[in-house]
Structure 1
Amino acid sequence: MKVTIVGGGLGGLTLARVLHVNGIEAVVYELDGSSTARDQGGTLDMHEESGQRALRAAGLFDQFRAVARDEGEALRLLDGRGVVHLDERPDEPGGRPEVDRGELKRILVESLPAGTVHWGSKVTAVEPSAITLSGGDTVEADLVVGADGAWSKVRPLLSSARPVYSGLSFVETHMSDVDTRHPDLAAFVGPGSMFALDDGKGVLAQRNGDGRIRVYAAVRAEDENWVATDVVDSDPVQTRLRLLEIFDDFPELVRALIADGDGVFVPRPIHALPVGHRWPRVPGVTLLGDAAHLMSPFAGEGANLAMLDGAELALSLASHDDVESALAAYEAAMFPRAEQAARESATNLVECFEPGGAARLAGFMGSGQ
């Protein structure tokens, strides 16, 4: 069986690894020039029933535990006036330790045979049984898997759906060496995450394992290009001032996460595929992760589900006599679980940024739901 994976993110790499464990080799084609070619993003909480399950199937659970942070489960939740609605620092691990996305990717890449990932490979065309690369080479396969994210080139073979702007945009920034340079803010955020939520806006901060705090200034905006055109520009000083004006009614410690940062600001409009996105079975091709079920980050499920998709698809291929039976079984299980998570994510996005969002979220989390 020849498996071609388009996209070398966490989902595609998990698929390649679990296939390898089960004696099936695959090739991953990834546009990035290397696994460290760009910033890999923030920290992830790995769920027992999804991300951790995938890591166990990959035989990499111990390597994950070696770099995971149980203290990262801590959460402080306040509103735009500074009222603390939840300040949770579990005495015992709660089953969802944090791990830096870059560390997780490193573990997966290092677990694969040399040459499995073809870095710097731009896929220009896709068919159910083949892909074409930018140099003109065509690669034939028994199965093409789209693990290529939100704007997947593989998805159009299966579905006409495209990501839709959610009405919420982030501006991402970060603070380095926080324990030395910003000890007050390190203490304020704590070892995990801090959310300050108000009507139509909020500041989300998460502690990373490299001494950084990653900060997301969230603003509800009708125009998905608004943060890129009217807030963020090439002048970090002006960008910072605009953000501080937007959050001028927030507590000073929250504003300081913007004011005292490293001066790098990245606009990130939040998109999602329709809840319940699915497709009829098409021979020789399928999707996983964001390519299949892009959702907002407000359920904490994106990376977890991508990795579970990769593991479950690999196990299905290993346990069925033919590719089509394996794909049918994989998709039958993936569609409903993705729909449930996407629905939760869409609901949470709305409720977090409506009046009383902080109190409502604290009540929800305090109830153990």
Structure 2
Amino acid sequence: MFVTVEVSIRMPRSDRAGHPGRTPLPPAPPYGLETTMTTHHPIAIIGGGLGGLTAARVLHANGTEAAVFDLEASAGARTQGGMLDIHEDSGQMALHAAGLHEGFRGIVHEGGQAMRLLGPDGTVHVDEDDDGTGTRPEVDRGALRDLLLDSLPDGTVHWGRKATGVRPIGGGRHEVAFADGSAVTTDLLVGADGAWSRVRPLLSPAEPAYTGISLVETDLLDADTRHPRAAAVVGTGSFMCLGDRRGLLAHRETDGSLHIYTALRADEDWIDTIDFGDGAAAKAAVLAHFEGWHQDLRALVADADGAPVPRRIHALPVGHRWDRVPGVTLLGDAAHLMSPFAGEGANLAMLDGAELGLAVAAHPGDLEAALAAYEEGLFPRGEASAAESAANLEIMFGGHGLERMAEFFTSAPEAG
């Protein structure tokens, strides 16, 4: 990989008045060393999530190195929890392209494709076991991320690099500034930096909008031992309980804990009306929206370990796209942020990353041809999944979400 380094250093200077023939120098500044460093990388990927790492891996597998810049301080700085169902026609295709599908099979959570759908009174409407024949196996997000990280050469990912600004510098090249004072220039800038992408404004003025759904996340740890009734309600895989414009969603994680999402149609400022610093008060405020629900369902929130964590759900416009701009593109949420109700976010990010890597490999020496080919597939793929996600949101959190989802699962068992 070709790297140039330009460094300017301003050192503190001592008073040399005692040396004959020398002019006294000004006193030292109040800091010890000020350094600005700019490096050049032919391909710079901003964001070390699943999509960015997949792009780097597929590029590497095809003989092209890329540098990945991530704001986290290290690979283990933050828990990468949560379960993902990896779809045969998207995420698994990406893993095949990355040469990692065999490793992926080794981290699959057996039993994770089981699915339960309940009504607010506790009635079970759908109860599907995982018989091992499904095409959307569940994996732990952190384990999948580790699989990708371990497949990259040492030094590929630059940790602790939070992008603070990007700008074109001519000839299709761009410069990215980071919070630590460093900067990089690049021939191909890839925005894999999520919902609030710093790279996206180079291509599009679009911004994520609130979807009308707010989530509150809670956990039940060591569920089989400490919360056996909740463990029985959720089952071995995924769980959903839907009422009038609200619901409880959950999944069992590989460590035996249950991760719960309370979902509500709510005003955008609803979260601001609750003191989430007071766990008991926050739980009570959330449960006020679930009066009359079965006690075992309410216990998924009431008995949670730790404080609830709120999250508003945002999305980019369905069909978001941009005109071709030399030397820059997007993938994953930066390109097509959508609600999580089609399970496509991580899968599409990985497929985007793989398709970008393959396009660069298929057009050696011609980045613009590669980007044009990549975006030709990116736009319709993202639009279709975003439309599906938006439709599922309306189905799940409309007036008859339970009935419509029961019909959905029984008519197409693997559609969820």
Is the TM value for this pair above 0.5? yes
Asked whether the 8 Å contact 1:70–1:93 carries over to 2, the reply is no
Larger Rg: 2
Runs of 4+ in 1 over 3 A off after TM superposition: none
Picking from 93, 100, 103, the partner of 1:53 is 93
Deviations 1:89-144 (CA, angstroms, capped at 9, x unpaired) = 14232111100111111111111111111111011111342212223333111100
Corresponding position of 1:242: 285
Structure 2 unaligned regions, length at least 5: 1-40, 169-173
Asked whether the 8 Å contact 2:277–2:307 carries over to 1, the reply is no
1:71 is aligned to 2:111: yes
Moved more, 143-152 or 55-64: 55-64
Asked whether the 8 Å contact 1:70–1:96 carries over to 2, the reply is no
Corresponding position of 1:177: 222
Corresponding position of 2:349: 306
How far the C-alpha of 1:225 sits from its partner, in A, is 2.8
Asked whether the 8 Å contact 2:45–2:192 carries over to 1, the reply is yes
The CA distance in 2 between the partners of 1:216 and 1:36, in whole Å, is 24
Aligned residue runs from structure 1 range 109-120, under 5 A: 109-120=149-160
The CA distance in 1 between the partners of 2:292 and 2:192, in whole Å, is 41
Corresponding position of 1:158: 203
The CA distance in 2 between the partners of 1:130 and 1:24, in whole Å, is 20
Aligned residue runs from structure 1 range 215-234, under 5 A: 215-222=260-267, 224-227=268-271, 229-234=272-277
The CA distance in 2 between the partners of 1:35 and 1:43, in whole Å, is 18
Picking from 286, 289, 314, the partner of 2:332 is 289
1:193 is aligned to 2:233: no
Structure 1 unaligned regions, length at least 5: none
How many matched pairs? 367
Deviations 1:274-333 (CA, angstroms, capped at 9, x unpaired) = 000000000000000000000000000000000000000000000113000000000000
The CA distance in 2 between the partners of 1:101 and 1:172, in whole Å, is 16
Corresponding position of 2:401: 357
The CA distance in 2 between the partners of 1:271 and 1:351, in whole Å, is 17
The CA distance in 2 between the partners of 1:107 and 1:333, in whole Å, is 26
1:98 is aligned to 2:138: yes
- Choose between structure 1 and 2: higher helix proportion: 1
SS of the equivalent of 1:72 reads: coil
Corresponding position of 2:378: 334
Asked whether the 8 Å contact 2:339–2:393 carries over to 1, the reply is yes
The CA distance in 2 between the partners of 1:80 and 1:16, in whole Å, is 45
How far the C-alpha of 1:30 sits from its partner, in A, is 0.3
SS of the equivalent of 1:267 reads: strand
Please report the TM-score for the alignment, with normalisation by the length of structure 2: 0.86
| Cα RMSD after superposing both structures | 1.3
Deviations 1:12-62 (CA, angstroms, capped at 9, x unpaired) = 011111111111101111001122222324100000111011111111112
Asked whether the 8 Å contact 1:146–1:152 carries over to 2, the reply is yes
SS of the equivalent of 1:265 reads: strand
The CA distance in 1 between the partners of 2:83 and 2:57, in whole Å, is 21
Name the % identity.
57
1:34 is aligned to 2:74: yes
The CA distance in 1 between the partners of 2:164 and 2:220, in whole Å, is 37
- The one-letter code matched in structure 1 to 2:406 is A
